């Protein structure tokens, strides 16, 4: 039997949810228009007034906000309340250009924590659990978000933060952590290290809540099997609040969006036109309950699909599929759109582990892709012919499944740098080359 953190909101009828969203959206637009000059100018530019927005049906009239807008408005341009009402700042990692800072009132933090609490309960968490948070703490939202959620659930919270793997594993065994929260690549790394240390039998983990980077179904199965857990996906972004914008339930077929706070839309990334449920496009969020940093129609650059099919867990919240990758991660190689996660799937299907790096370059006006993948000790053979067959299998599958020609290079086990936060999988050397 499924349990919920906030059953009322998680299982509300569609009509009630819609009425709630209509009301909050109209209020939020008035709040933003009155307090955020930057967005007021965007609305005025489109000739839209707060009075035009009566509910979700009118959402499409509003202008989009992009990451560029946030950079433009840095740091206070999107702030919608007096600074004296804010209590917290979180920030994006700033890997692509100038960082974004997001502000929170205490109420904004509280609702974010509740969203994370829903995710923990959906992953089977309760006050009897030991929640091991290995997301980074600090400006990154991962640690603070799950930490807050875990407190609300009443679980014993281990604020481990990222790094220091041996200490992580020591706490995990000594304090019997049951739910692990971290990036999927770090979960895979922990699993590997636990096996190497021969401690698999001392681990009491039952579930993991993994997010903040793209990962594949194959990687999910790999982690589940290595750690003997169920691995749940969680989604979020600092601009909207942090982890917990959506979360997975026991069905593991997509993430329920906390629609009472965040309205999702899927748009055609080129025309901006809203697409019907079930179609693939760019995910856009409108924050309807947050007060300090309430973004309307924020373009996430994540490509994904929404589904309103009834879920066996009883939640009525719309589900979003695992993003196929951020459009920032999307590589265009000789005109073909490629997501690293698709390449990862091919590698895992060919028996490799998800330890790889993609090197993109331009030679003689044409893009080249090199897939550097670690050889596993089990795969190694003294016969070069067999190693070459392994390489060729990957090359052929990349060609037939993704339509791209790649060079595959086998590298020594564990030679690709493991990051303890986000994995750096792509090295693009094309910058400026013709």
Partner 1 sequence: MAIDQLSVFVENKQGKLVEVLEALGQAGIDLRALSIADTADYGVLRVIVDRPVDALKVLTDLGFAVRINQVLPVSVDDAPGALGNTLRVLSDAGIFVEYLYAFVAHGEDRAFVILRVADNEGAEKVLRGRGIAIASKEEIYK
> Of the two residues 74 and 380, which places its CB atom closer to partner 1 in the complex?
380
Please state the closest distance from residue 413 (CB atom) to partner 1, in A. Answer: 5
Residue closer to partner 1 (CB basis): 164 or 415: 415
110 φ/ψ angles, rounded to the nearest 5 degrees: -60, -45
- Residue 360 is given by DSSP the state E
Among residues 128 and 195, whose Cβ is nearest to partner 1? Answer: 195
Question: Residue 380 CB, nearest distance to partner 1 (Å)?
Answer: 4
- Residue 392's H or E segment, with its range, is helix 384-397
Which residue carries 């759109």 as its tokens?
337
Residue numbers 247-286 binding Zn ion by CB under 5 A: 249, 251
Contact of residue 274 among Zn ion, partner 1, none (CB under 5-8 Å per partner type): none
Interacting residues toward partner 1 by CB under 8 A: 375-377, 379-385, 387-388, 409-415
Task: Give the nearest distance from C-beta 386 to partner 1 in angstroms.
Answer: 10
- Buried residues in 306-319 as b, exposed as e (16+ CB within 10 A): beeeebebebbbbb
Give the shortest CB-389-to-partner 1 separation in angstroms: 12
Cβ-based nearer residue to partner 1, 349 or 409: 409
381 contact choice in partner 1, Zn ion, none (CB below 5 to 8 Å, kind-dependent):
partner 1
- Counting other chains too, the contacts that 229-235 makes at CB distance below 8 Å and 24 or more residues apart are 229/180, 229/205, 230/123, 230/124, 230/206, 231/184, 231/187, 231/207, 232/119, 232/122, 232/123, 232/207, 232/208, 233/322, 234/119, 234/209, 234/210, 235/211, 235/320, 235/323
CB 372 within 8 A of CB 411: yes
- CB contact set of 284 (below 8 Å; sequence gap of 6+): 64, 264, 265, 266, 267, 297, 298, 299, 300
Question: Pattern of binders to Zn ion over 211-250, x per CB under 5 A?
Answer: --------------------------------------x-
- Find, among 340, 359, 344, the residue nearest to 430 by Cα: 359
194 binds Zn ion (CB under 5 A): no
Query: Choosing among Zn ion, partner 1, none, which partner's interface includes residue 174 (Cβ < 5 to 8 Å by kind)?
Result: none
Q: Give the x/- contact pattern for Zn ion in 295-314, rule: CB under 5 A.
A: ----------------x-x-
The least CB distance from residue 167 to partner 1, in Å, is: 22
Residue (of 409, 296, 353) closest to 28 by Cα position? 296
Residue among 268 and 376 whose Cβ is closer to partner 1: 376
Judged by beta carbon, residue 52 or residue 251, the one nearer Zn ion is 251
Torsion from C-alpha of 165, 168, 170, 172, nearest 10 degrees = -140
- 379 vs 426 by CB, closer to partner 1: 379
Does the footprint of Zn ion cover residue 315 (CB under 5 A)?
yes
Which residues of the shown chain bind Zn ion in the complex (CB under 5 A)? 249, 251, 311, 313, 315
């Amino acid at each position: 039997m499924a349990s919920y953190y906030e059953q009322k909101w998680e299982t509300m009828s569609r009509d009630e949810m819609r009425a709630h969203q209509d009301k909050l959206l109209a209020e939020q637009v008035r709040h933003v228009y009155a307090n955020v000059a930057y967005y007021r100018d965007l609305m005025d530019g489109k000739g839209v007034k707060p009075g035009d927005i009566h509910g979700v049906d009118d959402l499409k009239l509003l202008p989009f906000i992009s990451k560029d807008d946030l950079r433009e408005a840095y740091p206070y341009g999107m702030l919608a309340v007096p600074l004296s009402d804010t209590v917290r700042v979180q920030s994006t990692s700033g890997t692509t250009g100038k960082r974004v800072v997001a502000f929170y009132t205490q109420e904004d933090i509280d609702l974010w924590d509740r969203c994370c609490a829903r995710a923990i309960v959906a992953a089977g968490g309760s006050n009897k659990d030991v929640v091991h948070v290995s997301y980074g703490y600090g400006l990154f939202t991962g640690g603070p978000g799950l930490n807050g959620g875990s407190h609300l659930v009443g679980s014993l919270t281990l604020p481990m933060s990222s790094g220091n793997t041996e200490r992580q594993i020591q706490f995990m065994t000594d304090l019997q952590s049951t739910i692990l929260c971290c990036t999927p690549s770090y979960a895979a790394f922990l699993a590997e290290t636990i096996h190497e240390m021969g401690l698999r039998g001392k681990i009491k983990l039952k579930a993991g809540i993994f997010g903040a980077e793209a990962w594949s179904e194959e990687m999910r199965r790999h982690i589940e099997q290595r750690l003997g857990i169920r691995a749940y996906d969680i989604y979020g972004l600092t601009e909207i609040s942090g982890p917990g914008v959506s979360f997975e339930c026991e069905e593991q077929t997509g993430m329920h969006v906390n629609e009472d706070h965040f309205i999702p839309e899927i748009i055609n990334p080129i025309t901006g036109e809203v697409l019907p449920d079930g179609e693939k496009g760019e995910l856009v969020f409108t924050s309807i309950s947050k007060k300090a940093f309430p973004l309307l129609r924020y373009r996430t650059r994540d490509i994904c699909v929404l589904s309103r099919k009834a879920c066996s867990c009883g939640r009525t919240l719309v589900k979003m599929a695992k993003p196929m990758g951020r459009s920032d991660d999307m590589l265009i190689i000789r005109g073909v759109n490629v997501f690293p996660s698709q390449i990862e799937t091919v590698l895992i299907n060919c028996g490799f582990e998800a330890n790889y790096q993609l090197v993109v370059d331009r030679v003689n006006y044409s893009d080249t892709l090199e897939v550097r993948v670690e050889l596993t000790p089990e795969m190694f053979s003294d016969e070069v012919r067999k190693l070459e067959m392994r390489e060729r299998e990957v090359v052929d599958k990349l060609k037939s499944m993704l339509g791209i020609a790649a060079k595959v290079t086998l590298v020594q086990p564990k030679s690709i740098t493991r990051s303890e936060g986000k994995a750096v999988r792509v090295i693009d050397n094309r910058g400026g080359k013709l």
